[in-house]
Structure 1
Amino acid sequence: MMRYLFLAASLLFLSIGDGLAQNNTFKQELSVGASFGMNFSSISFAPKVNQKMKQGYQGGVTLRWITENHLGLQAELNYAQQGWEEEFEEQPEYQYSRTINYVELPFLTHIYFGGNRFKFFFNLGPKIGYALSESTVSNLNGAEPNRNNMQHDMPIEKKFDWGLCGGPGLELSTGIGHFLLEGRYYYALGDIYGSQKKDPFARSASQTIGVKFTYLFPIWR
């Protein structure tokens, strides 16, 4: 284990040193590309609904502008699956999950360190989305196994979604473009249902953990 940690630390220091040595040759760069990955999502319900992470997929197009050394801006247009899958510990024969399909627009600050070939980066910024459709998988057969079951028959009330997202990643630059592997966490600031006193839930916001692969091709330097 220590050997792998030492190797990772060595690569980090070498890439940072290489990046510092390249400060005088910095050039702005505009890149465009595509991404694809997986999401694991849930809904923060209040009152609580027992859940496990629901798997979904995401993909879209990415535009990145490196404006100065170690800093850039990134915008994306994605299609993403979110939602929730309920967990029935005492009655495993039951199943209920809801898939919500979103089109989303993250606007991110891109911070990076490293050399010309290998980079470590962190993206952070707001994201807005709109629910295009939803679908349900259920075999409850009329049963109500949870303390809270009203969500089973409630379609989404608020299709507009917004919140904050960010995460770390690794980038490999080659003669044919940039290859990025990134982890990302999303915390919604809005709810999918109404949250007034008359409503069943005081909170119903999405949380998503994802990993994706992105390919970017420079179109201007």
Structure 2
Amino acid sequence: MLIKACWQGVTTISLWVFLLLSITLVAQEDSTAFRPQTYLGVQYGMNWNTVMFSPQIDQATLVANRVGAVFRYVGQAHLGIQLEVAYDQRGWAETLEGIAADYTREIDYLEFAAFSHISIGNGTVRPLVLLGSYLSYPVGQTETIPTSLDASLYQDYYQELLPERIQYGLAGGLGLEVFLDRLTLQLDGRYRSSLGGIFSSSDNRFIFSNSQGFTAQASVLFRVFGGK
């Protein structure tokens, strides 16, 4: 599974590099109409996480953080590629019958994401669309077990370290950009869905255990090359 995930990650990155080179070549054909732009920035967001388990588990939403760095290259007017490296917290929260507190399992990931960045319009404020994929490597996990948990509700994976499985999947979002000369403020909301499970498919406890979630975040980017 690790080899398969790494291979898929390499394939995804290769496709994005090919897209970036293609955009660059097209932009060079008519450099008078548009000057390519390069941005660097930082971002912060909040995640609302759940996991699609089968058999199903009663869940609440686990709220967690996302902090990252952004590289954006705009090779054509309104079309570019956005690469992100982020520390992303995910996981799930189980609601337990008769207990006010939830069981939670938070998993910390180092994430690499690549998006097509589509900007709409020419004004100071512009809608945007993000479409892409991500590859995440787990770097830590935290478990919270309610102290009043009855033995009959105890699951066999409690107090068990989850396997360090690379996660990969698809993501997309909508948002707005505000252009302030060389500075750009980006606000967007995204949906993410994993194509692989947190637990191995050979684990008889779950048929699938795919992470999913919504992210709302703000990014501040500075144009370092190109543009006016």
- If the length of structure 1 is used for normalisation, what is the TM-score? 0.83
Q: Give the 5 Å matches for 1:39-188.
A: 39-88=47-96, 90-141=97-148, 143-144=150-151, 149-188=155-194
| % identical aligned pairs | 27
Q: Deviations over 1:24-81 (max 9, x none)?
A: 8532101000000100101111101100110000011000011112210010000010
TM-aligned CA deviation for residue 155 of structure 1: 2.0
2:226 corresponds to 1:218: no
**Does the CA-based 8 Å contact 1:158-1:193 persist in structure 2?**
no
Please give the alpha-carbon distance, in whole angstroms, between the structure 1 residues aligned to 2:152 and 2:190.
33
Instruction: Report how many residues are paired.
Output: 195
Gaps of 5+ in 1: 1-23
For the 8 Å contact 2:143–2:159, the answer to whether it is kept is: no
The 1:203/1:140 distance shift into structure 2, 3 A limit, reads: farther
What is the CA–CA distance in structure 2 between the aligned matches of 1:159 and 1:129, rounded to whole Å? Answer: 9
What is the distance in 2 between the residues matched to 1:93 and 1:170? 39
- Residue 91 of structure 1 and its aligned partner are, at CA, apart by 1.1
Q: CA deviation at 1:165?
A: 0.6
Correspondence 1:27-42 to 2 at 5 A: 27-42=35-50
Q: 1:200 to 1:140 in 2, by over 3 A?
A: farther
Structure 2's unaligned 5+ residue stretches are 1-31
Q: 1:149 deviation in Å?
A: 2.4
2:199 corresponds to 1:193: yes
| C-alpha deviation, 1:111, in angstroms | 1.0
Match in the other structure for 1:18: none
The CA RMSD measured in Å over matched residues stands at 1.8
1:209 & 1:108 partners in 2: Cα distance?
16
The Cα shift of 1:94 comes to: 4.2
Query: C-alpha separation between the residues in 1 aligned to 2:139 and 2:222?
Result: 29
The one-letter amino acid paired with 1:126 is S
| TM-score of the pair, normalised by structure 2 | 0.80
